[in-house]
Amino acid sequence: MPVLDLTAQVAARGFDVTLSIAEGETVAVLGPNGAGKSTLLGAIAGLLRPSGRATLGGTVLFDGSTFTPPHQRGISLLAQDALLFPHLSVLDNVAFGPRSAGRRDFRERALHWLAEVEAVHLAERRAPQLSGGQAQRVAIARALASEPRLLLLDEPMAALDVSAAPALRRLLSTVLRQRTAIIVTHEILDAYSVADRVIVMNYGHIVEQGPTREVLERPRTAFTAALAGLNLIEVGDQLGAIRPADVTISPIPTAHPGTVTDLEPHGDFVRVRSADLAADVHPRLVADLDLAPGSSVWFDFTPGRLSVYPRV
């Protein structure tokens, strides 16, 4: 049985989404800026009032006649910034939710969740004394201390230093296990690390969804393939995906002609893009071939590197 059932439209934003999430399922929502990811979270959390209907467990979140206010929904929203109360200690920040709900064991609940995020040693500090990674750990503890039916995470690692993100990602993979959650992210690694299922959005609609590895390793649309860093190729009545690292380029006619549209640094390599394919090549080759947008090249790859699968 799904714990969340939602059909929502926001005409002014071109937003029209239907989805269900099962109890204990973590879903990653991927897509570019403007795809509708934040609108989706806002509709679920009660930060805007869309058309349609949504239920969470036995509670109607919204429909034509009902709108449950955010604080009565049993939902916690974790934003990019930790948004901790600066005048309270870490312990009191985490205890705020259960204390407001009238729980007598609010202190014990707060200490429990601080222990879960490995932050008990920060209990007496105040928010301004925390690093970005520490603050986000405390924010996760505060969100979970309220025992939400559904946890929403909006780009939780976007504001962190690169060095802090891996530790927080490992933490989330632990605390989100068997927990009902939606995480909005731009990072494919986040989806692989924490999500049971992936939803890909563009222009206010869901364009693809399914189990995480199936969607990211066997994309059905060029848009999803680009998000996953893969080339999508038609192979008769089937589809094929191949990594740019397995694609070569040459000035001599080979298999797939193309015109360079973009050159993008990609680690130790340069990603050379055409309208249909991308290849990761050594910078020396880019210089030797004098590549630039508009250059004509040929792309090729070993068929054995191509993962072929049905269209549907």
Judgement on whether residues 173 and 266 belong to the same structural domain of the protein = no
Tens place of pLDDT per residue across the chain (312 aa): 679 999 999 999 999 999 999 999 999 999 988 999 999 999 999 999 999 999 999 899 999 899 999 999 999 999 888 889 999 999 999 999 999 888 889 999 999 999 988 899 999 999 999 998 899 899 999 999 989 999 999 988 877 777 778 888 888 888 888 899 999 998 888 999 999 999 999 999 999 999 999 999 999 998 899 889 999 999 889 999 999 999 999 988 988 999 999 999 988 999 999 999 999 999 999 999 999 999 999 999 988 899 999 987
Give the chain as a 3 state SS string.
CEEEEEEEEEHHHCEEEEEEEECCCEEEEECCCCCCHHHHHHHHHCCCCCEEEEEECCEEEECCCCECCHHHCCEEEECCCCCCCCCCEHHHHHHHHHHHCCCCCHHHHHHHHHHHCCCHHHCCCEHHHCCHHHHHHHHHHHHHHCCCCEEEEECCCCCCCCCCHHHHHHHHHHHCCCCCEEEECCCHHHHHHHCCEEEEEECCEEEEEEEHHHHHHCCCCHHHHHHCCCEEEEECCEEEEECHHHEEEECCCCCEEEECCEEEEECCEEEEECCCCEEEECHHHHHHCCCCCCCEEEEEECHHHCEEEECC
pLDDT at 177: 87
Judgement on whether residues 38 and 174 belong to the same structural domain of the protein = yes
Query: For the sheet containing 256-259, what is the strand order?
Result: 247-250, 296-301, 256-259
Judgement on whether residues 117 and 259 belong to the same structural domain of the protein = no
- Total number of domains constituting the chain: 2
Within a domain: 180: yes
Burial class of residue 69 (count of CB atoms within 10 Å of its CB; 0-12, 13-18, 19+):
exposed
Within a domain: 225: no
Task: Report how far residue 240's alpha carbon sits from residue 278's, in angstroms, rounded to the nearest whole number.
Answer: 14
Within a domain: 206: yes
Judgement on whether residues 289 and 191 belong to the same structural domain of the protein = no
Within a domain: 230: no
Within a domain: 186: yes
CB atoms within 10 A of CB 63: 14
pLDDT at 101: 84
Within a domain: 89: yes
Judgement on whether residues 205 and 261 belong to the same structural domain of the protein = no
Judgement on whether residues 89 and 184 belong to the same structural domain of the protein = yes
Judgement on whether residues 143 and 54 belong to the same structural domain of the protein = yes
Judgement on whether residues 203 and 250 belong to the same structural domain of the protein = no
Judgement on whether residues 194 and 252 belong to the same structural domain of the protein = no
pLDDT at 79: 85
Within a domain: 307: no
Residue 255 sits in a domain of what CATH number?
Answer: 2.40.50.100
15, two tokens: 């937003």
Judgement on whether residues 88 and 17 belong to the same structural domain of the protein = yes
Within a domain: 227: no
Q: What residues make up the domain containing 147?
A: 2-217
Judgement on whether residues 148 and 88 belong to the same structural domain of the protein = yes
Judgement on whether residues 55 and 121 belong to the same structural domain of the protein = yes
Indicate the residue among 217, 233, 268 that finishes a domain.
217
Residue 38 sits in a domain of what CATH number?
Answer: 3.40.50.300
Indicate the residue among 201, 217, 233 that finishes a domain.
217
pTM equals 0.89
Indicate the residue among 217, 233, 253 that finishes a domain.
217
